[in-house]
Structure 1
Amino acid sequence: MSTLDPTTAAKLKRTPEGLVCAVAQQHDTREVLMVAWMNDEALHLTLTTGRATYWSRSRNELWAKGDTSGHTQKIIDVRLDCDGDTILLLVDQTGAACHTGTRTCFDATSLLHPTDA
């Protein structure tokens, strides 16, 4: 098991399951690609390997983005929000980020609908 730097670990506010929300964003266009979860080991691997690694809540295991799909996320920068409960991954996305095969998980119809004036 990998060990996260204690200084970094102390800054994180985790869920009761030990997870922190992670938002992946394309580094140059700022397009929001996806949201996933990280535990300490996933964050450590992300920081040390340069590849986005997440925790699958459904499979209860680590997964590196692209291991099965080939759609990888090369890490450009990693930032922690002011509350310590969300990690922002600035990545260089290769291929689709969404499990549905689309570039981003956020390309669905907007929830805001214009009202008739």
Structure 2
Amino acid sequence: MPSGEAGDSHVQAVLDNPRFKLLVQKKRMLSWSLSALMLIIYIGFILLVAYAPEFLHSSFSGVITWGIPLGVGVIVAAFVLCAVYSVIANGEYERLTQEVVDDIKSAEISANSQQGDH
């Protein structure tokens, strides 16, 4: 692991990499979007509990009330949104990360070969 100035230059090379910037932007957008969606689902359920308890107490099959499947739906939505993030992170984000690593290695090899020429 590089230390001192060499380590700082590696960090700066990553931070300056346009693919890294794209990766950060995409991850941020997806994270905030999925978080907002989960928040809307959760707040929607809480608002139903607060303002429409009679609906949640009403039965749709004679035995099960609407509150049960809607509550389970909130939990399932959380798992689904986590799965969506995982699939995207293990696919597109992993590919972008590898491209950043390859760019940095290529730049490092190029810099080392230029130093050897001098």
TM-score by length of 1: 0.23
Higher strand share: 1
TM-score (norm: length of structure 2): 0.22
Name whichever structure is richer in helix by fraction: 2
Greater gyration radius:
2
Higher-RCO chain (CA-CA 8 Å, sequence separation at least 6): 2
